[in-house]
Amino acid sequence: MPRDEITRAFLGVETSLTGRRWVGPTAEDDRLAEAMCQETGLSDPVARVLCRAGVTSPQAAGYLAPAIRDLLPDPMSLRDMGTAADRLAHAIARRQRVAIFGDYDVDGAASSALLQVWLRDLGIAATVYIPDRIDEGYGPNDEAMAALARDHDLIVCVDCGTLSHGPIAAAKGADVIVLDHHLGAETLPDAVAVVNPNRQDESGDLGHLCAASVVFLLLVEVNRRLRETGIKGPDLMGMLDLVALATVADVAPLIGVNRALVRRGLDIMRRRDRPGLVALSDAARLDVAPAAYHLGYVLGPRINAGGRVGRADLGARLLAATDPHEAASLAERLEELNAERREVEAGVRDAALAQAEQRGLDGPLVWAAGEGWHPGVVGIVAARLKEATGRPAVVIGTEGGIGKGSARSIPGVDLGAAIQRVAREGLLVKGGGHKMAAGLTVEADRIEAAMERLAELLARQGAGAGEARGLTLTGLLMPGAATPDLIEEIERAGPFGAGAPAPRFAFADCRIASVRKVGESHLKVAFTDGMGPRIDAIAFGAFDGPMGRALENHGGARFHLAGRLEINHWQGHSRPQLRLEDAAPA
């Protein structure tokens, strides 16, 4: 293949209105998609999505209809699973007092609720303890664990605990099980069992699971053991809405069994059986069947809001609620906290971006630190920096000489391992997480040195190499081809998210038929190629950069447009809509 065919920008767009270079399918991509169309009868856009995911023609049917029974791993393939299952089954048989210690994020809340609901169905009222982000920090602490141990026979740590040697030792008189997915150290805490696919002595084959999936696997195994004694365990399939929510919100890659868990979980969520999720959806004015996008960007942030700027246990309480009135009250409070979180986030985001820009955005790491930045929003701001720059990002809030930060990574760069290494080297007080997200604590006067060392480690993994910003496009479509039927067909290749990016399509040489500003920074347009129907498009945050003004003042010029297709349901009608992400003069 000629080299210029590989490197040529798609539609000739070297620098778009958002400053990105468009990267389209190669000749090899075209060949594979054409072959799949002929062999499977699938449409060209769907074939392109599958080929990009590495799916072959014989695998296509199974990929489009993933079955949990075919993809769910054997729970016993994880170390300590048998011990954990035996201990939990023992607690059920003896009607022991059980406490659940969960993290304050969505994965922790969903994991806590999943275990709590399962135990409740078996007649055991478990205590759920979620630590305060500011007063207690992440994970188990000595005081809380000692207090729980005085009143309980078994403590189950979910989405935390793998590095908590001291606090688990402080739980004297109670057994402790850890169900986690964060990177483990060389030694494990002295717990009855530590079930974690990211232990150092695990193969890593299941390292993509979130904590709620680890909890789910344990409950699958305990249910199996209960059946052997003649006891029917709770319906776990009906609880997959919680696993789906945690998987997407924790940015776990949507590959393998994760795809099947999220697909089934979304189906269950559409039944509106769980009072907490119904109330939260209603509070968020979510009037369509939830998709993976809504879990990550609508429901997840609201559950997180309790742990960020309010009471840490609100999310777990909401997800486990049985009374619709209680659920509505909790959802309303989380909606208020989410609005408060947005205000706090906006101030930190602007300051962090300005600082990062001054430092430079072309290195392997972008970072910012500020006195008094709220620890509940630094993770969101880190994600914003990562999205804006295509680099791993760290944002740190300092107070009293100590900085507490959150980090977000890009595909192919293991940020959690790098931060853990910087912690082992002594530049951080502590730090850890997983590949895509991590947390850290650092002395304020060592932030510069720690970030310099982290950048060095990330550069070795390839962060910052090559083009900083590019827009990868699945292919080219004509407006007339973008029908609701095609979009539904494409959705069957989902869910889309981390590890499975949603397909983006380009529409070439289009005329802007109408345009209007929505709110302070959004843009709605309708466009056509002159041959087919108009398509509506919405560009969120378009006026935060030059794209909004360029399209608003188009003056009759024609543009190439690119984004993600979706169906807009309005007043009983379903119409195609483009989530417009970029544009370039034609």
What is the b/e burial string over 59-78, where b = at least 16 CB atoms within 10 angstroms of the residue's CB? ebeebbebeeeeebbebeeb
**CA–CA separation, 176 vs 139, rounded Å?**
14
Is domain 3-24+473-585 classified as CATH 3.40.50.300?
no
3-class SS shares of the chain: helix, strand, coil, % to 5: 45, 20, 35
Residue-level pLDDT at 3: 38
Model confidence at 434, pLDDT cuts 50, 70, 90, reads: confident
* Tokens describing residue 119: 């135990």
Predicted local confidence at residue 309, as pLDDT: 78
**What's the CA angle centered on 203, arms 244 and 213, to 5 degrees?**
15
For residue 4, name the pLDDT band (cuts at 50, 70, 90). Answer: very low
**Mean pLDDT confidence for 394-422:** 94
Task: Check residue 387 and give its pLDDT.
Answer: 86
Q: Using CA atoms, how far apart are residues 401 and 398, in angstroms rounded to an integer?
A: 6
pLDDT single digits (tens) 309-330: 778 999 999 999 999 999 999 9
Q: What is the pLDDT of residues 376-391, one digit of tens each?
A: 899 999 999 998 888 9
d(C-alpha 11, C-alpha 439), whole Å: 41
Residue 520: the pLDDT is 84
Q: Tell me: the pLDDT tens digits for 88-131?
A: 999 999 999 999 999 999 999 999 999 999 999 999 999 999 99
Q: For a pLDDT cut of 90, what percent of the chain falls above it? A: 85
User: Pick from 53, 93, 63, 100: which is nearest to 211 by CA?
Assistant: 100
Q: Rounded to an integer, what distance in angstroms lies between the CA atom of residue 178 and that of residue 185?
A: 14
Q: What is the pLDDT of residues 465-479, one digit of tens each?
A: 655 468 999 999 999
Q: 452 to each of 366, 393, 404, 457, how far by Cα in Å?
A: 10, 13, 17, 9
In the chain, the percentage of residues whose pLDDT exceeds 70 is 98
Nearest alpha-carbon partner for 389 in 459, 469, 335, 329: 469
When the pLDDT of each residue in the chain is averaged and rounded to a whole number, the result is 93
Local structure of 375: helix, strand or coil: coil
209-224: average pLDDT: 98
pLDDT digit string (tens) for 176-199? 999 999 999 899 999 999 999 999
* pTM given for the model: 0.88
Give the CA diameter of the chain.
Answer: 76
pLDDT tens digit sequence for 18-33: 888 999 999 999 999 9
Residue 522's H or E segment, with its range, is strand 522-528
Under the banding of pLDDT at 50, 70 and 90, the label for residue 5 is very low
Contact of 324 with 275, CB cutoff 8 Å: yes
Element (H, E) at 507: strand 505-518
Tens of pLDDT along 247-301? 999 989 999 999 999 999 999 999 999 999 999 999 999 988 899 999 999 999 9
pLDDT value at residue 117: 98
The pLDDT of residue 468? 47
Domain 360-460 has CATH 3.40.30.10: no
Residues whose CB is less than 8 angstroms from the CB of residue 537 and which lie 6 or more positions away in sequence, other chains included: 524, 525, 526, 527, 561, 563, 577, 578, 579, 580
CA dist 475 → 133, 320, 419, 471 (Å): 44, 43, 37, 12
Residue 377 phi/psi, 5° resolution? -120, -5
Which of 42-51, 316-325, 457-466, 520-529 has the least mean pLDDT? 457-466
* pLDDT greater than 50 at residue 336: yes
Cβ pair 79, 179 in contact under 8 A: no
Domain 75-334 bears CATH identifier 3.40.50.720 = no
In sequence order, what DSSP letters do the residues of 70-98 get, joined into one string? HHPPPGGGSTTHHHHHHHHHHHHHTT--E
Kindly indicate the confidence band of residue 463, based on its pLDDT and cuts at 50, 70 and 90: confident
154-173 pLDDT per residue, tens: 999 999 999 999 999 999 99
Please check whether residue 91 is in contact with residue 154, taking contact to mean a CB–CB distance below 8 angstroms. yes
- pLDDT beyond 80 at 572: no
Residue from 521, 577, 518, 585 nearest 551 by CA:
585
Nearest to 356 by CA among 431, 471, 439, 451: 451
pLDDT at position 7, please? 65
- pLDDT at residue 442 tops 60: yes
What does the pLDDT read at residue 466?
Answer: 56
d(CA 46, CA 399): 51
